[in-house]
Amino acid sequence: MIRVFVAVLAVLWVCAPASAETLAQARAAHPTSVVGEAGGDPADKPPARLFRMTSYPSAVGDLAAYVTPSPGDGRRHPAIIWITGGDANSIGDVWGPRPARNDQTARAFREAGIVMMFPSLRGGNRNPGHREGGYGEVDDILAAAAWLARQDYVDPARIYLGGHSTGGTFALLTAECSDRFRAVFAFGPIGQFDRQYGEFLGVDLRDPQEVALRSPVRWLGSIRSPTFVFEGDRQGNTFDLLEMKRANTNPLAHFYVVPRASHFSILAPATALIARKINADVAARSNLQFEQAELDYLMPPSGS
C-alpha cells in the first residue's frame, strides 16, 4: 500500500505543471544523489577516413569520442553532436552498413559534409564517473559542444544536437538546460522518465524529484533554441510525443508524428531531410523549419 502511495505521489509530481523555475535552476538547487553503474567495453576503433578517436574534457575527466577528421579545406563547417540510443553513455560501431529500416548511425549527416561528433558520456566505455540517468550526462554533452567549437574546421555558431531514443531524451533534456545549440533534433524521446528508463539507468523511482528532473515533459518552457521532436506512428514512443505536444506552450518546441514510420525506420529518411536543411541554414539566426506535409511523404505508402 505504501509503495502504491509513493508511486502515485511520483506521478503527480511529474505530471504537475512546471513552475516558472527553469530546469537549469532546478538542477542547480538539487545535486543528484543517483550513482549508477560504470563500465562497459572500450570504444571500438573507427575507420580513420570517417572518424578519428579523440577525447574531450568534462567535469569527471576526459571522455572518449568519435569526430569527423578535418577535411583540410581551410573552411569552417556545420557540425552535429549525435547521442545514440540504448546505452547512450557508450559509443561503438557507427560506421558499418545498416538496413534503411533501422539505420541508427545517422550517416546522412557525414555524407552531406556535416562534421559529426559521437561523444561517450560518464560511466560508459570505461570512462571516469558513473551513469546518472540523464543528469550529469547533460553536462557532458555541453562539454563536448565546447570542445567541438574549438576545432578550427568547425563553425562554432552552427553546432547542432541530435539523438535517438535514450539519446533523444538526453538531447531534449540538454535543450531544456542550455541554448548552446543552433537547433536540437530529438527522435523518439520519452516525456516522463519513470515510464521507461528508470530502472535501466539506475534512478530511484521512489524519489519524485529525481524523476521529475529527468522528465522532459515538465520543462518544455525552459527550451530557448529551436527544438524539433520526431517519432513514427508505429511501434515507438508516439504517446510520449503527443503528451508533450499537448503540454507544450513554447513556440520554440515543435512535435511531429511521421506516418508509416517506426521508432527506427524514421531515422534514415528524416536525418537525410535534416541534413539538407542544415546545409541550407546559413542565415545569422537559424531559419530551420519543418512542414507536416513534407514529413507525411518521408515513408513510402507501402509502410515502414
Measuring CA to CA, how many Å separate 50 from each of 55, 94, 102, 251? 16, 10, 20, 37
Domain assignment present for 287: yes
Domain assignment present for 78: yes
Domain assignment present for 301: no
Q: Give the structural domain span for 43.
A: 2-296
Domain assignment present for 246: yes
Counted domains in the chain:
1
Please list, in sequence order, all residues whose beta carbon lies within 8 angstroms of the beta carbon of residue 170, skipping any fewer than 6 positions away: 83, 88, 121, 134, 137, 138, 141, 163
Q: Report the percent of the chain where pLDDT is more than 90.
A: 81
- The CATH number of residue 179's host domain is 3.40.50.1820
Distance CA 53, CA 47 (A): 9
At 174 the three-state DSSP class reads: helix
Q: Given the DSSP bridges, would you call strands 61-67 and 115-119 parallel, antiparallel or unpaired?
A: antiparallel
Domain assignment present for 191: yes
pLDDT digits (tens, 9 = 90+) for 176-225: 999 999 999 999 999 998 876 655 566 777 889 999 999 999 999 999 99
116 or 2, which is more confident?
116
Distance CA 155, CA 75 (A): 9
Domain assignment present for 194: yes
pLDDT digits (tens, 9 = 90+) for 216-244: 999 999 999 999 999 999 989 999 999 99
Domain assignment present for 95: yes
> Would you state the cell numbers that stand for residue 227, as one nine-digit string?
527544438
pLDDT digits (tens, 9 = 90+) for 95-134: 999 999 999 999 999 999 999 999 999 999 999 998 998 9
